[in-house]
Structure 1
């Protein structure tokens, strides 16, 4: 008997419910009744019935067919559920429910979350950037200096990580000034330096040249790009 119960249970089938739907149904404007209705529609579709009637759906729920019809209309108006036309192998047209709009809405929510997380990360990086500058300068930044930082970020599109690297290069060189840091960033950008690894490679090349005794310091300074190594985080 136990085996028969298990076989019947397995033959009844299962539906896969995305975790994202359970996490985000409230954000996309659904309540628990509408969520349950969508899950029942998904269950019918998985069982081969792509267009269950309001009576069939209500038979599984604690609502009547009239309320079920109202919820279905609402879901269609919300562009969560859609009714599409299909064509059978015999050439007979039929209607079916589609949850494609629901999945698209959830995908948009996921994209939005990632964008928001990216924005939060950027804001944290920028806050850390201002804090690091004040720590290295040993004082609060002036309005003009804050404007310079904002210009590097917004107008020049500099990565906060690259700006931090330029700051630390200025510290190592003993030339802690915004003008000097701006010169570093200008030369890095002009020479296509976009990553820390690229800056590291140019820093190695710079130090190799400065170690050559035949080259005067003034000539090295004028002919090489001031790419500077930075402190490891």
Structure 2
């Protein structure tokens, strides 16, 4: 007897509920009753019943079939589920529910959240960028300097990390001014430098080239050579 119960349970199958639905149904405008009704529709679909009636759905729930009908209409109108036309094996036209609109809404919500996080990160990076420059220069930036920073970000599409790398390069070269940093960024962009690693490698190669040029002059000197990107 117990074995039969266990076998019946296994044969009944299971319903895989997407974690994204459970985590985000509130964000896409659903309440608990609507979600449960959708899951009931999903369950019927999985069992081969493509168009369960409100009566069939309400038998599994604590709401009346009239309420099921009302909620189903709302879900269709608000594009959480759709009713599609199909053809049976006997070539009979029939209707069936589809949850594709629901999955699309969840995907759109994920993409929206990702975009918002990117915007917040960019805003944080830009704010941090101004702070780093002011700290390195030891003073507030002038309006013209702020405009130059904005131009690097918005017009030249330089990332904050690459701009900060150019700032560090200017410090190493002993040329802490915006004209010099602008020249570094120009050279990097011309040579396809887009990441902090590429900037580091390009800067090392540049300094090696400059070191060779000044090696004869520096033979008897202990001073640290300055590397001038403006001579490029």
The reply to whether TM is greater than 0.5 is yes
What is the CA–CA distance in structure 1 between the aligned matches of 2:129 and 2:163, rounded to whole Å? Answer: 8
Report how far residue 216 of structure 1 moved.
Answer: 7.8
Q: Say whether 1:41 aligns with 2:7.
A: no
Change (3 A) 1:214 1:174: closer
Structure 2 unmatched ranges of 5 or more: 218-226
What is the CA–CA distance in structure 1 between the aligned matches of 2:214 and 2:101, rounded to whole Å? Answer: 70
What is the CA–CA distance in structure 2 between the aligned matches of 1:58 and 1:223, rounded to whole Å? Answer: 77
Change (3 A) 1:214 1:7: same
Q: Partner of 1:118 in structure 2? A: 118
Classify the secondary structure of the residue corresponding to 1:165: helix
Contact 1:166 / 1:184 at 8 angstroms: preserved in 2? Answer: yes
- Within a 5 Å distance, the mapping from 1:130-209 to structure 2 comes to 130-209=130-209
Structure 1 stretches of 4+ moved >4 Å: 213-217, 220-224
Change (3 A) 1:138 1:119: same
Over residues 11-53 of structure 1, what are the superposed CA-to-partner deviations in whole Å (9 max), with x where a residue is unaligned?
A: 1111111111111111211111111100000011111111100
What is the CA–CA distance in structure 1 between the aligned matches of 2:114 and 2:229, rounded to whole Å? Answer: 45
Q: Partner of 1:75 in structure 2? A: 75
Structure 1 unmatched ranges of 5 or more: 226-233
What is the CA–CA distance in structure 1 between the aligned matches of 2:119 and 2:200, rounded to whole Å? Answer: 27
Contact 1:84 / 1:96 at 8 angstroms: preserved in 2? Answer: yes
TM-score calculated relative to the size of structure 1: 0.89
Change (3 A) 1:215 1:221: farther
Q: Say whether 1:32 aligns with 2:19.
A: no
Classify the secondary structure of the residue corresponding to 1:48: coil
What is the CA–CA distance in structure 2 between the aligned matches of 1:38 and 1:199, rounded to whole Å? Answer: 52
TM-score calculated relative to the size of structure 2: 0.89
Contact 1:206 / 1:224 at 8 angstroms: preserved in 2? Answer: no
Report how far residue 128 of structure 1 moved.
Answer: 1.5
Q: Partner of 2:102 in structure 1? A: 102
Report how far residue 208 of structure 1 moved.
Answer: 2.5
